[in-house]
Amino acid sequence: MGLTIDLSSPGGLVVALLPEIVLTCWALVILLAAAWRHRDEADQQLAGHLALLGLVSTILVVFWLWGRGAHSEGIATMIALDGFRYASASIFILGAILTVMLSLGYLGREQIWVPEFYVLLLLATVGMMVMGGGTDLIVIFVGLELMSISVYALAGINRRSVFSAEAALKYFLLGAFASGFFLYGVALIYGATGTTNLTQVHLRIVELGLQSNTMLLIGLGLLLVGFAFKVAAVPFHMWAPDVYDGAPTPVTAYMATAVKAAAFAALIRILIHALGDSYVVWKTVVWWLAVITMFGGNLIALAQTQLKRMLAYSSVGHAGYLLVAVSSGGEMGAAAFLFYITAYTLMTVGAFAVLAAAGRDGERDVRIDDLSGLGSKRPWLAFAMTIFMLSLLGFPGTAGFIGKWFILSSIIQSDQLFLAVVLVLASVVSAGFYLPVVMVMYMKPAASEDAHRNVHLVGPARMVVTFVTVLLLLFGVWPNRAMDLARDGADGLQPAPTQVFTD
C-alpha cells in the first residue's frame, strides 16, 4: 500500500512538502553564508558547494518518498503525492545540480562574484517543484512566479554585461505578460467551475457537463498562451533566442532544460488531470502548436552561424517535440515526456558545457566554424560534443533516439499518424544544423596551430560532460530501466472516474 499521508493534518503536510522545505532551508543557509562571506572566489565556491549539498539532500528526500510509495488519503487539496511529482522533481533537481557544477568554475572565470547566484538557483528549483507537484491552479501560479522571478535575476546576474541586462529585461517584461495570461485563464476557469483544485475542476466538468462551456474554453485558451510563452513555443518564442544568448551560459542551460521541464510538467498535469474531458478541444490547439514549433524552431536554426543562438532555436524545436507528447494525452504521453525531458536535459547541458569551454565573455561570439579542428586538438571534447549533437538529432544508439521513439509510440497509440510523420520530417530538417557542428570538428582543419589552446573544461564541468555523455550512451543502448521509471512516474496521473463529486 505504501506510505499514506493525511494532508488534512499539519504533520502530514510537512511530510508531503518535505523536499520543498529541505531545499528552502538550504537556500536560507546559503543566503546567510553569502551575507557573511561574499568578497572573493573562495566565498562563492563555499556557496556553490553548499548548494550542491542542499540539492543532493533534497533529491534523496524525493527518492525516499517515491520509494515508500507515498500517497494521500482522498483528494489532494494543494500538493500531489504521486509518481509524476516525484519523477518531475527529480528532473528539476538534476538540472539544478548540473547547472551548479557548471557554474563553480564558470563564474570565477568570468569574474561574476555573486554568491547569491546559488540562492536564486535553489529558490527557482523550489518554484519548479511546486509547479510540478501542485494540484491547485493558485499553487501552480505561486510556484510559477517563484521560479520566474528567480530566473529573471539569474539572467541578469552578470552586471558587467549589457547583453545580460538586456536578457533579464526582455525576460521580465514578456514573462510578466505571460503570467498575466495564465492568471486571467485561472480566473475564468474558476468562474466556470467554482474551484481551482484540479481534481474538483475535473469532477465539476463531468458532473455539470462543462466540456463546451465558453468561459471554460476561453480560460483554457489563455492558460495555453501563458504556457506557450514559458516553453518558447512558436509564435510565442521571440524572447528565447535573445534571452538565451545574453544570459551567462550555465543560466542558459538551466533555462533551456529545467525551466522548460517545469512549465511542461505543470501543463501536462493541468491538461490531463483536470481538463482531460476537454481533450478534443485542447488537442487541436496543442497539435498546431507542436507542428508550427517543430518546423519554426528547426528552420530558423538552419540559418544560425553562432553556436549559442543555434542551440537556442534548437531548444524551440525540441519544445515542439515535447508538445507532441502532450498532444497524445494520457499516461503514455506523460511517460514519453518524462523520458525525453531527462534525455534532453542531459544532452543540452552537455552542449552548453562544451560551448562554455570554447568561448569567453558569455560565448556570444563563438561561431560553429570556430570549432574547426577540435577533433584533432581536443579529441575527448569533440567526441562528447558529437554525442550531444547526435542525441539532439535523434541518432540511433543515443538517448535522444529512444526519447523520440517513445514520443512516436505515444502519438501513434493515440491515432495521430500524421503528427508522427511531421515529427520525423522535422527531425530530418534538424540534421542540417546538428551535423555541420560534427563536420567542422573533424573535417575542417584548425585555423592555426594555436587554435583551441585555451579550450578546456573548468572545474567540475569535466565531470558533468563525462557523466552526461555516459548516460546518453547508456540510455541509448539500455533504456529499459529509465523507461520503466518514466511509466511509473506517469502512472495514475489521470483522476479516477469513480470519485464522487463533493463541494
| The predicted structure's pLDDT at residue 362 | 61
- The pLDDT confidence band at residue 498, using thresholds 50, 70 and 90, is very low
Q: What does the pLDDT look like over 416-436, one tens digit per residue?
A: 889 999 999 999 999 999 999
Beta bridge partners, 4, equal 71
Cα separation of 215 and 217, whole Å? 6
Q: What does the pLDDT look like over 282-299, one tens digit per residue?
A: 888 999 999 999 999 999
| The predicted structure's pLDDT at residue 30 | 93
- The pLDDT confidence band at residue 26, using thresholds 50, 70 and 90, is very high
Q: What does the pLDDT look like over 199-239, one tens digit per residue?
A: 889 888 888 888 888 899 999 999 999 999 999 898 888 88
CA 76, 82, 84, 88 dihedral sign is: positive
Reference 465, options 347, 342, 350; nearest CA is 350
| The predicted structure's pLDDT at residue 494 | 65
Are 81 and 16 in contact by the 8 Å Cβ rule? The answer is: yes
The DSSP code for 444 is S
Cα separation of 373 and 441, whole Å? 5
Reference 128, options 110, 114, 149; nearest CA is 149
Inform me whether the pLDDT recorded for 444 exceeds 60.
yes
Cα separation of 492 and 86, whole Å? 13
CA angle 445, 446, 452 (to 5 degrees): 150
- The pLDDT confidence band at residue 496, using thresholds 50, 70 and 90, is very low
The residue type at 381: L
Q: Left, alpha or beta for 209 (phi > 0: left; psi -120 to 50: alpha)?
A: left
